[in-house]
Structure 1
Amino acid sequence: MIRKAQGKRMGNDMDVAIVGGSFAGLAAGLMLARARRRVVVFDEGQTRNRFADAGHGFLGMDGLAPAEMQRRGQSDLLAYPTARIERARVTSITARDGGFELQAGAAWRAAKVILAHGMRDILPDIPGLTEGWGQWAMQCPYCHGYEVADQPTGILMTGPAVPHHLTMLRDWTHDLALFCNGHPLPDEVRAKAAGWGIPVYDLPVAAIRDEGQTRTLLLADGQEVQRAVVYLVSRSEPSCDLAAQLGCRMEDGMTGPFVSVDPMQNTSVPGVFAAGDLCRPMYGALFAAADGARAATAAHHALLFNDA
């Protein structure tokens, strides 16, 4: 249960509105609340890591369930009387009269906006894969590799790029198999795999069956290969169109578009900042929280100096 901020209830006119209530958004809110600014965090509860049983690598919260990590962050934020969390989806943001108007069930106004709503993962259309996402199908060995180390592991190619997991994952397991999924494999990568004794399967993966302790990857020719864990790099896109509504400049990353920001999280639109997975090609909770703190600092300085 999210409790409201203590003290006199605030209206819907805020210094900073933050869209997204995960690591980046909560870190940004905390910094601004400590600066005694009126801040609202809009949160739909759809964090990107909600499919995983535990989050790892975050100091002080290693191994906690994502929902518990978020709850602790919310509790920290709501200890400050100028902070609010609203369970609402922001459907539109419009620049008007030197500030921004937001629609999120009700009308809101804020002097500055921080976009921290994150990305959504786009998985290959392979039956059985979506059901395992965040459990036995994963993207980041830094986040989850320790817990599944030394298990039979598959690397599923999702595009023509050289699969960097082929090299990385050897620090977690030597029982690897590479599934090209119909994508061409450069000769030098094929030679590297052969030198390491890693089998390569070129045909598309038609389906994946979860059989408890193992998963069976069914290839297009009917061949079946068993693995315990599957790594892949998903495509990604912003989880909503608010950055596009505002006209924020985008960049093309290896896995999809993301919002372009400067070193202090300023977007191309004055008064709009972005933080977390939404504005970086490399994802992670620690990175997102750091981005949020930086965006909050920049927004606070903009309130103090840019508008003076």
Structure 2
Amino acid sequence: MYDVIVVGGGAAGLSGALALVRSRRSVLVIDDGRPRNAPAGHVQNFLTRDGTPPSEIYALGRDEVAGYGGEFASGTVTEVRRGDVFTVELADGTSYQGRRILVTTGLTDLLPDVAGLAEQWGKDVLHCPYCHGWEVQGQAIGVLATSPMAVHQAQMFRQLSDDVTLFLHTGPDLTDEQWEELAARQIAVVQGKVEQVEVVDGKLTGVRLEGGKVISRDVLTVQTTLRAKASFLTGLGLEVTAQEAAGVVYGDALVVDAKGETAVPGVFAAGNVTDPMGQVLHAAGAGLRAGAAINGDLIAEETRLALAARRS
């Protein structure tokens, strides 16, 4: 029996766990060892940790949590059940019980269906100018359009390079104003579907259009569909909600209140599972906030029980 079971051992989960163990709560962190940013060589825009490999940040975090008595288990959570306490089931049949649950499982990036794209993901197939922009500055950058958000993405990467090409691929139909804006910033536009990415010696060299034409590029940016990893919560009645920006649905997420609590009392969530667009630093801050909220929730419960015992 634990005070809190944290499902997910990334930045949000470890930050929440650290806040809780420092408040003398018994905490178990369950992680499947598959962080979203595993393909990336470094974490950027994390103050004092800029450029650090993700695995190093998580190893340091685990050491800190363990130093205060936190425990860890490896595995994939398949179900969470609610009774007097919560029971967490793993794929291997192991189960654990906890008074509160903190979900920090993050999300999965679903890539456009283009041959060779997945193999280069996190290397020279990228998605975020704040995560990777500095590292690809000045290079020949391609933007693969699958939604209206691609025009905005192209404009953002134009800040980083004079050589940006927007491949319309599966959309959108540009307005006259968008054509003019792209031309004003000298962003090239290529119509036609991209069939595959060209790779030589493990390095992206260009994109091949249907019909065979190859356009050389050093980097290709894409818009992924962001799917929250939360299917194990359906038994509690928790479902993800579609997320959209500028009228475009880009993924889904768990809905939480300002404290990080879901619609199920006692179940909290933080990080990319609730905020698909957040970076590692955002996730860490959200995890800390949720951990403090959980501790406050436990204190309130313990106070009620103590008062009831005193008055009986």
**TM-score w.r.t. length of structure 2:** 0.90
Q: How many residues align?
A: 294
Shift of 1:209: 1.2
Cα pair 2:124 2:204 within 8 Å, conserved: no
Cα pair 2:12 2:284 within 8 Å, conserved: yes
Shift of 1:249: 4.8
Deviations along 1:210-252, one digit per CA (max 9) or x if unpaired, are 1255422011122111111111120021224123332225321
SS at match of 1:248: coil
Q: Which amino acid aligns with 2:226?
A: S
Partner residue of 2:308? none
Partner residue of 1:44? 32
Deviations along 1:107-139, one digit per CA (max 9) or x if unpaired, are 211000011001001001101100110000111
Distance 2:47 2:149 in 1: 32
Distance 1:279 1:178 in 2: 30
Quick check: 1:106 aligned with 2:94? yes
Higher helix share: 2
SS at match of 1:135: coil
Quick check: 1:192 aligned with 2:192? no
1:140-155 residue pairs with structure 2 within 5 A?
A: 140-155=128-143
Root-mean-square deviation over aligned CA pairs: 1.5
Partner residue of 1:90? 77
Distance 2:52 2:150 in 1: 33
- Is the alpha carbon distance of 1:160 and 1:167 closer, same or farther for their aligned partners in structure 2, counting shifts above 3 Å? closer
- Consecutive unaligned residues of structure 2, counting only runs of 5 or more, are 245-249, 305-312
SS at match of 2:3: strand
Quick check: 1:56 aligned with 2:44? yes
- Consecutive unaligned residues of structure 1, counting only runs of 5 or more, are 1-12
Partner residue of 2:103? 115
Quick check: 1:256 aligned with 2:243? no
Distance 2:46 2:211 in 1: 43
Cα pair 2:271 2:284 within 8 Å, conserved: yes
Q: Which amino acid aligns with 2:236?
A: L
Cα pair 2:124 2:220 within 8 Å, conserved: yes
Quick check: 1:303 aligned with 2:298? yes
Cα pair 2:6 2:103 within 8 Å, conserved: yes
Deviating above 4 A after TM superposition, structure 1's stretches of 4 or more consecutive aligned residues are none
Deviations along 1:231-277, one digit per CA (max 9) or x if unpaired, are 11200212241233322253211311100011111111110001000
1:127-146 residue pairs with structure 2 within 5 A?
A: 127-146=115-134
Cα pair 1:162 1:185 within 8 Å, conserved: no
Quick check: 1:267 aligned with 2:257? no
Partner residue of 1:282? 277
Deviations along 1:123-180, one digit per CA (max 9) or x if unpaired, are 0110110011000011111111111111000111122445311221122112100011
Cα pair 1:14 1:40 within 8 Å, conserved: yes
Deviations along 1:81-127, one digit per CA (max 9) or x if unpaired, are 2x101112111100112x20111242211000011001001001101
1:168-183 residue pairs with structure 2 within 5 A?
A: 168-183=156-171
Identity over aligned pairs, percent: 33
